[in-house]
Amino acid sequence: MSPHDAVEVIIAKRGGGALSDSQIDWVVDAYTRGEVADEQMSSLAMAILLNGMSRAEIARWTNAMIASGERMDFSSLSRPTADKHSTGGVGDKITLPLAPLVAACGVAVPQLSGRGLGHTGGTLDKLESIPGWRASLSNAEMLAQLEAVGAVICAAGDGLAPADKKLYALRDVTGTVEAIPLIASSIMSKKIAEGTGSLVLDVKVGTGAFMKSEADARELARTMVDLGTDAGVRTVALLTDMSTPLGLTAGNAIEVAESVEVLAGGGPADVVELTLALAREMLTAAGVTDIDPADALASGKAMDAWNAMIRAQGGDPTAALPVARESQVVTAPSSGVLTRLDAMAVGLAAWRLGAGRARKEDPVQAGAGVVWHARPGDTVTAGQPLFTLLTDEPARFDRALGSLVGGYDISPAGTVHSASPLIIDRIS
C-alpha cells in the first residue's frame, strides 16, 4: 500500500504547507512510474507556482528527480570538470566558443545542451548545421571524448533525470513553466546528475530572457546556487543582460560562423566579453587560477580544441555552412543613433523565419535567421542596411518583418547612448 496519495500531497501544498521528504520522494517517483496522473501533477505544479517551496523542499524535490535515473561519474578523468548553463536568450551562442576555450585551458567541459523552443535558440540546433556533426553520444563515447579532447557538447541521454523530462513537458502545457522552484530543480537535477565538479550559471534578465525582472532572475540564480552548493557542486551564477541580443546574429549556421570568428580572435565585443567572463569563472571554480583564457584565444589553442571537438562528433569544421535560399534587407528609416534593439523582437523574427520551433518535434532551418548591422550606440544613416532576414521560404518574410515593428529606436544624431552593463551581478 502506498504511504501517500496524490490528493493528500496536493491539498498540503494548496494550503501553503511544506511537503515532507517522504511526500516529495513518493510523488516524484509515483509520477515517473505513471501512478500519479498528469492532471494530478499539474494541480500540484500549480500549487507550487502559487505557494512556493522552501530551500529544503526544493533540494529534496531536486534529489528525487535525480534519483529517478542514472548519475554520471567523471572522476576517472585526468583533469577537473566544469559545466555552464544558460537560461536562454537571443543570439546566445556562448556555449560554442566557451566549451573549447575552457578545454584548451586544461578543464574538461561535459556540456549537455538542448534544442530551441520559441524565440530562444538551441545549442544543438546550431551545431547540427555543421555537416556530419551528431548530438547523440553514449556515456562511454562522452567520457572518451572528454579525456582525449577536453570538451563535449551533446544531448542528454534518456537515463538522466527522466522525472524531469516528464514534468517539463507537463509544465509546458499547464501554465506552470514560471514556477521558480520547478525551473531551478529542472535545471539543477540534470546538472547534478551529470556529475560535473563545478558549475557556472548564466542567468539572463530582460525582454529577450525568460526572466523579465531582475528580482525574479536574482531569485532563480540564488535558488540554483543554493541547490548546487547543497549537492556538493561548486556553483556560481552571473546575472547577464538580455534586453539587447548578443552579437550580430540570431539563427543556427550564422551563429556558428560568428562563434568561429570569436575563436579566431575576432567577433563582436559583447560575445567575447561574456565568453571570457564565463571561462574565467569556470576555470576558477575548477581550481585553475594561473591561466588567462584570453591567451588561449589569442594563441589559437581554443580554435584547435573546437576543431578537435567537432571532428570527434563526426563533423567537418572546414565544410561550408548552409546558406538560406532567400534574403531580404531592412533599411534604416531615418538617420541618427540606434538607441534600442529589442532582443524579443529579434528573437521572434528569427523564429518566424524558420530558425526556431513552436513544438519540440518541429524541424528548423539551418540557414534561417536575422543579421543586424548596427548595435545600440552606433550611428546609422537613412537607407543603410539595418537587418538582413534569411529563410528558405519567402512567405515567412511578412510575419518576421511584423516582429521587428517597434523593436528598435533611432534617436536624433548626437544622442548619447548609455549602455547597460552586460554583466549585472555575480552570485555565489
Q: Apex CA 315: angle with CA 313 and CA 318, to 5°?
A: 140
Give the burial class of 416: count Cβ atoms within 10 A of its Cβ; 0-12 exposed, 13-18 middle, 19 or more buried. exposed
Nearest to 250 by CA among 95, 389, 394: 389
Q: Write b or e for each residue in 2-21: b if 16 or more Cβ atoms lie within 10 A of its Cβ, otherwise e.
A: eebbbeebbebbbeeeebee
> For 68-179, where are the alpha helices, taking DSSP H only?
95-104, 123-127, 139-148, 162-172
Assess contact for 375 and 246: CB atoms under 8 A.
no
Name the phi and psi angles at 198, rounded to 5: -145, 160
Residue positions annotated with a catalytic role: 85, 164, 171, 186, 190
Residues sharing a CB contact under 8 Å with residue 128, sequence separation 6 or more, in sequence order: 135, 252, 366
Residues sharing a CB contact under 8 Å with residue 316, sequence separation 6 or more, in sequence order: 130, 131, 132, 310
How much helix, strand and coil, in percent to the nearest 5, is found in the chain?
A: 45, 15, 40
Q: Which helix (H) or strand (E) holds 230?
A: helix 214-230
Residues sharing a CB contact under 8 Å with residue 239, sequence separation 6 or more, in sequence order: 203, 205, 214, 217, 218, 221, 423, 424, 425, 426, 427
Residue 250 CA to residue 324 CA, distance in Å, equals 13
User: What three-state secondary structure class fits 18?
Assistant: coil
- As given in the structure block, the three cell numbers for residue 393 are 521560404
Assess contact for 424 and 205: CB atoms under 8 A.
yes
Q: Please state the separation of Cα 76 from the chain's center in Å.
A: 27
Q: Beta strands of 148-265 (E only): which ranges? A: 151-155, 198-205, 234-241, 249-251
Name the phi and psi angles at 220, rounded to 5: -65, -45
Name the phi and psi angles at 102, rounded to 5: -65, -40
> What one-character-per-residue DSSP string does 340-352 give?
EE-HHHHHHHHII
